[in-house]
Amino acid sequence: MQIIDRNSLDILFDTLKRRGFNLVGPTIRDGAIVYDRLTSTADLPIGWTDEQNGGTYRLKKRADVAVFGYTVGPHSWKKLLYPSVQRLWRAKRDGENFQFITEDEEVSKFAFIGVRSCELHAIAIQDKVFINGKYIDPVYKLRRENVFIVTVNCGKASGTCFCVSMNTGPRATFGFDLALTEILEDNHHRFTVEVGTERGAEILREVPHREADEEEKAKVEDIVAKTARQMGRTLDTTDIKDLLYRNYEHPRWDEVASRCLTCGNCTLVCPTCFCTTVEDVTDLTGEHAERWRKWDSCFTMDFSYIHGGSIRSSSKARYRQWMTHKLATWIDQFGTSGCVGCGRCITWCPVAIDITEEVRAIRGKE
């Protein structure tokens, strides 16, 4: 474990930029901490934190100058790895035939700054879906191969976090090039650094650093342990797959359906949801055609539409599909839960539906 001081964070950014990486990380926009392009550490949410609960998100000024003193916001890294709108192909008329126009995917090299442990697990889940199975998504694969990941171990949990229940945090254990832990004390602001890859080691060699002492290593353990005790939510995952399979007709589905707006917010902010739809478009002359892939949601009526109507026409059916897929059938499909305990679906639900509360209600009344 190494130590860099606060000023060396600027050097780290400059080093990554010299290596051709475009920096993406947390910044304040529209009243939230979102992921966007960064030009320097000045763009980071220095001295800001967030307060989150069911259906509630507010920014709040901290009493210090912590750089990463917040939890996850409405954005996840899938917006860069798995873009919300993607052209699959285009074609133009060539006499009585069509000529397909191939396009080389131009992908920039990105350095993801401030990735949390739960988000690393979410990326790993999407890796399993898109590049580790029989069928490989070439766009995702190309983007994924061009990412440098700087993780930050969480020093604060929100009111909707439950990563401890899902064994996904708050400390990162894999999937990063460099992992930082912020230590902020009077007149001494520094970061511990753990190296996860040889590429990470190469970058760190260009940044002033020193070996961490035993006291600093102990501080990391204390910070992570304190964060683990701050979890705002818990989820009992014991036998959860079979629990939900046994309860397709549980009365709780009707109760949650009476509140659910089927707006799809939970699926849009979720870092693992990947449902899409495909749209074909042509111009008025019929000379040009394109096919686009766009993010969709299992909460929309059209998502399950086939000839004759929608398979899941009720709010109850759509909410049940989402939650049972996330926590149960996903395990059968991909060998892992589709939930990483980030709490976004709770925070950004307009009516504060809480996935942990729904599981608890089903378990309690079984």
Query: pLDDT digits over 321-338, tens only?
Result: 999 999 999 999 999 999
Contacts of 350 (CB under 8 A, 6+ apart): 55, 261, 263, 265
Instruction: Please tell me the predicted confidence (pLDDT) of residue 29.
Output: 95
Query: pLDDT digits over 23-50, tens only?
Result: 999 999 999 999 999 999 999 999 999 9
For residue 229, the SS3 value is: helix
Segment 358-364 shows an average pLDDT of: 95
Q: How far apart are CA 52 and CA 343, in angstroms?
A: 9
Query: pLDDT digits over 118-151, tens only?
Result: 999 999 999 999 999 889 998 899 999 999 999 9
Q: Cα 28 vs. chain centroid, distance in angstroms?
A: 17
Instruction: Please tell me the predicted confidence (pLDDT) of residue 240.
Output: 95
Contacts of 76 (CB under 8 A, 6+ apart): 35, 119, 122, 269, 270, 271, 342, 344
> What residues are paired with 192 via a beta bridge?
3, 181
Q: With a cut of 80, say whether residue 106 has pLDDT above it.
A: no
Q: How confident is residue 302, by pLDDT bands cut at 50, 70 and 90?
A: confident
Q: Which of 253, 284, 243, 66 is nearest to 154 (CA)?
A: 66
Instruction: Report yes or no: 191 and 181 within 8 Å, Cβ to Cβ.
Output: yes
Q: With a cut of 80, say whether residue 345 has pLDDT above it.
A: yes
Q: With a cut of 80, say whether residue 104 has pLDDT above it.
A: no
Q: How far apart are CA 190 and CA 181, in angstroms?
A: 8
Which tokens belong to 263?
């707006």
When computed from its CA atoms, the radius of gyration of the chain, rounded to whole angstroms, is 22
**DSSP, res 66:** -
Segment 85-112 shows an average pLDDT of: 86
Q: How confident is residue 185, by pLDDT bands cut at 50, 70 and 90?
A: confident
Percent of the chain residues topping a pLDDT of 90: 86
Q: With a cut of 80, say whether residue 103 has pLDDT above it.
A: no
For residue 232, the SS3 value is: coil
Neighbours of 351 (CB within 10 A): 13
Segment 277-304 shows an average pLDDT of: 90
Say which residue, 306 or 142, is predicted with more confidence: 142
Averaged confidence pLDDT in the chain:
93
Instruction: Please tell me the predicted confidence (pLDDT) of residue 244.
Output: 96
Residue type, 311: I
